[in-house]
Amino acid sequence: MSSPLVVLGGMFDPVHKGHVSAANYALEFLSAHRLKMVPCHRPNHKAIPDTRAEHRLAMLEIATAGHPQIEIDTIELQVDRVSYTVDTLTQYRKQHETIVFVLGVDSFNSLPQWHEWQQIFELCHLLVLARPGAILSDATLAAVQGGERKVETAEQMLSSSQGRFIYCENFEFDMASSQIRKKLARGEDVTAQLDPAVIEYIHENNLYQD
């Protein structure tokens, strides 16, 4: 079983410890050699970020320093248009036989609203990370044919090249960039959520000020 390409996309506005923990968890769970963190340029289903891409990218570089298995791919920042996950995965699939896309349970539950979402299962597997208080949506499970696609182990998932997903209930992703932005605007302490060097960058560049 060859090592898959693991992909974690997001706005990273700002990148927090939960993002890096999720990346490292996915690498270990899948016994993978590398993971691409892909900052989004313009989201399809969220508001356009106030923070410029150059700042989000710089913070991501700071937060992932010292994590050699994590690399940053600016593929979505290089195109001045809405970033669609399906387009990015299509590009990766040209070079990689097996891809695992990592996302939180909230994002998974909104999957039927994504652009050409059905094609995503034709391009990759999904690793869905739990969050306290959130559960898998029955409506989404029905839409994605969860009974046929859901498996329990990495070995089961990676025995094929695409089309399956795992729900990782033992990882709870309990941080949100939106809440961190509010705390920063109020001048509250965020050392539990952000890397100290990221906090320093935020202060130096006067980001997230009310």
Which CATH class name applies to 5-204?
alpha beta
Phi and psi at residue 88, to the nearest 5°: -65, -45
Say which residue the tokens 């690399």 belong to.
Answer: 71
pLDDT of residue 73: 98
User: What span, in angstroms and rounded, lies between the C-alpha atoms of 185 and 140?
Assistant: 35
Phi and psi at residue 141, to the nearest 5°: -60, -40
User: What span, in angstroms and rounded, lies between the C-alpha atoms of 118 and 115?
Assistant: 9
User: What span, in angstroms and rounded, lies between the C-alpha atoms of 54 and 130?
Assistant: 30
**How many separate helices (H) and strands (E) can be counted in the chain?**
10, 6
What tens digit of pLDDT does each residue of 78-134 get?
988 888 999 999 999 999 999 999 999 999 999 999 999 999 999 999 999 999 989
pLDDT of residue 50: 81
Q: Tell me how many degrees the CA angle 26-158-73 measures, rounded to the nearest 5.
A: 45
pLDDT of residue 116: 96
Which among 80, 47, 69 is positioned nearest to 181, based on CA atoms? 47
| Burial profile 22-46: b = 16 or more Cβ within 10 angstroms, e = fewer | bbebbbebbebeebbbbbbbbbeee
User: What span, in angstroms and rounded, lies between the C-alpha atoms of 53 and 34?
Assistant: 23
pLDDT of residue 169: 94
User: What span, in angstroms and rounded, lies between the C-alpha atoms of 179 and 176?
Assistant: 5
Which residue type occupies 143?
A
Which residue type occupies 189?
D
**pTM, two decimal places:** 0.95
Domain positions in the chain: 5-204
Residues of the chain scoring pLDDT < 50: none
Q: Tell me how many degrees the CA angle 129-133-134 measures, rounded to the nearest 5.
A: 50
